[in-house]
Amino acid sequence: MILGLYEAHLPVRNLKRSIDFYAGLGLKLDHIVDEKIAFLWIAEEQSWLGLWQADQVELPYHPSIRHIAFHVSLAGLRESVAWLTERGFTPRKAFGFEGTEPFVMPIAQHAHAKIHFNDPDGNSLEFITMLDNPLGAQDYMNLSEWETLLNEHGFTLE
């Protein structure tokens, strides 16, 4: 029945500024409604992001609202800090990790490698990819530490 996530929505203070920000991440503007709502393709014809200009944008942050995680490749994640920085975006601290490199959160047989940053309105954004967890590791660690751990046990990160 469900094939994936089609759309997500975020409140923004300035629609043009937010369109420019998300276009800088590689999203493609599809259309604008009443000069207050914009839809940008995350993956064209597959999933998009709705931006809603609103007077009240500063809702208290909670991961259940005002948060979007963009799926990226492992190669893309490895380059994410430099890629974001080159575009003027700042990776931020999350789960105790400073944002200087992606980190890994293992869960059972798989793990998630990720980096967090914010949009201009403080909405929480994330680049994330799923990894195998052949060792059953449970500790959170930087991606470089994860790769070293796997290599020490004869596994490679692919």
Mean pLDDT taken over the chain:
92
Q: What pLDDT, on the 0 to 100 scale, is given for residue 56?
A: 76
Spatial contact of 150 and 157, defined as CB atoms under 8 Å apart: yes
Six-digit token pair at 82?
């430099």
Residue 61's pLDDT band, with cuts at 50, 70 and 90, is: low
Q: What pLDDT, on the 0 to 100 scale, is given for residue 157?
A: 85
Indicate the DSSP class of residue 122: -
> What span, in angstroms and rounded, lies between the C-alpha atoms of 38 and 22?
11
Write down all domains in the chain, each with its CATH number in brackets.
1-54 (3.10.180.10), 66-158 (3.10.180)
For 97-150, the pLDDT digits (tens) are 999 999 999 998 899 999 999 999 888 999 999 999 999 999 999 999 999 999
